[in-house]
């Protein structure tokens, strides 16, 4: 079996391309605007709208995998409300459309990322999760709420990380939508718990989960805790850069920081609980770009013989700029 994993493609369709400067427009405070621009230009990614061609490159370099997993974040989310924004939804449809055209729907498994559902802008002023965005994950992107696929001695599971980690985003929800979100989370968690519990004792579990913030919430399920010895790997995205993933491991266990806004609180709380990563055997699938300062992006592949019980061998590939 040859598996290709891509994550954080952040594809920009024409309607999102027309929104150059969207991030600074969402930050009214000039000092915060300058800080955000420095972070983008100095480290993260100068122009998030300028990288569509990298997906074409990955597709060309991986012509015939047996299976493809897309691990979330298909659009730029330039309105910060996820797929409920038509421009963002169009980008995500085009991005998944390119993957389906290249590999066929049967070979493609995909999970939603936080940007599909909506995410507060940097420095927190604009946007957030929208329930309509969650609806559109199914109705427009045709992605299941969660999925499982048994191959050889492995059970692959894909989960919607932001829904699983909903308690961490509770303060960002529209108050009127909170009950609907919670009900969806309970329903989806029940399905995931059932899938984990029904895994045969000699089967190994491989989880695809965009944002590692979800992992402590999964570990809160007794069904998951009982099966952690069978966990072979958890493939995350979200962090884009292997250097950021290494930093997060180093900072695992740091105290939660309150009083500096919800983004800082959420990130520090996630790091506080990042010790959990070891039990889940976390491995990052980078974004195609990685961090601009390091140019450390790319994709993952895995190869294994489904007739044997050997662990899956993962390889990270770098996509040169």
Instruction: List residues binding Fe ion (CB under 5 A).
Output: 8, 73
Which stretches does DSSP call E strand in 171-268? 204-209, 231-236
Partner residues linked to 206 by β-bridges: 156, 233
Cα(264)–Cα(109) distance, integer angstroms: 32
The distance of closest approach from Cβ of residue 45 to Fe ion in the complex, given in angstroms and rounded to an integer, is 10
Structure tokens at 314: 């993962």
Structure tokens at 71: 């691990």
The distance of closest approach from Cβ of residue 305 to Fe ion in the complex, given in angstroms and rounded to an integer, is 32
List of residues 6+ apart from 87 with CB closer than 8 A? 13, 15, 16, 19, 78, 79
The distance of closest approach from Cβ of residue 275 to Fe ion in the complex, given in angstroms and rounded to an integer, is 23
The distance of closest approach from Cβ of residue 300 to Fe ion in the complex, given in angstroms and rounded to an integer, is 15
Pick the closer one to Fe ion by CB: 44 or 147.
44
Residue linked to tokens 């491995």: 283
The distance of closest approach from Cβ of residue 238 to Fe ion in the complex, given in angstroms and rounded to an integer, is 6
Pick the closer one to Fe ion by CB: 161 or 199.
161
Pick the closer one to Fe ion by CB: 73 or 85.
73
Pick the closer one to Fe ion by CB: 75 or 199.
75
Pick the closer one to Fe ion by CB: 148 or 287.
287
Cα(149)–Cα(107) distance, integer angstroms: 11
Cα(26)–Cα(22) distance, integer angstroms: 6
């Amino acid at each position: 079996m040859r598996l290709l994993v891509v994550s954080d493609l952040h594809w920009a369709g024409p309607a999102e391309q027309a929104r150059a400067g969207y991030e600074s427009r969402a930050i009214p405070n000039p000092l915060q605007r300058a800080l955000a621009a420095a972070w983008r230009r100095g480290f993260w990614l100068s122009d998030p709208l300028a990288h569509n061609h990298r997906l074409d490159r990955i597709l060309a370099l991986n012509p015939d995998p047996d299976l493809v997993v897309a691990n979330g974040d298909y659009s730029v989310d330039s309105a910060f409300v996820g797929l409920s924004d038509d421009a963002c939804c169009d980008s995500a449809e085009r991005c998944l459309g390119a993957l389906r055209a290249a590999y066929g729907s049967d070979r493609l498994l995909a999970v939603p990322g936080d940007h599909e559902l909506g995410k507060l802008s940097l420095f927190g002023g604009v946007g957030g999760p929208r329930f309509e965005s969650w609806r559109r994950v199914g109705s427009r992107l045709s992605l299941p709420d969660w999925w499982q696929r048994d191959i050889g001695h492995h059970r692959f599971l894909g989960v919607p990380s932001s829904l699983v980690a909903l308690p961490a985003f509770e303060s960002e929800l529209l108050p009127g939508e909170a009950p609907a979100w919670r009900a969806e989370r309970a329903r989806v968690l029940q399905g995931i718990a059932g899938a984990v519990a029904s895994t045969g004792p000699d089967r190994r579990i491989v989880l695809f989960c965009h944002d590692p913030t979800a992992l402590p919430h999964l570990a809160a399920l007794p069904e998951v805790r009982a099966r952690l010895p069978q966990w072979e790997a958890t493939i995350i995205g979200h962090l884009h850069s292997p250097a950021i993933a290494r930093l997060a491991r180093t900072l695992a266990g740091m105290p939660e920081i309150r009083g500096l806004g919800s983004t800082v609180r959420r990130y520090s709380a996630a790091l506080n609980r990042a010790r959990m990563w070891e039990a889940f055997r976390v491995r990052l699938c980078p974004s195609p770009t990685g961090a601009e300062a390091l140019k450390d992006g790319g994709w993952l592949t895995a190869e294994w013989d489904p007739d044997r019980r050997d662990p899956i061998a993962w390889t990270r590939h770098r996509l040169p700029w």
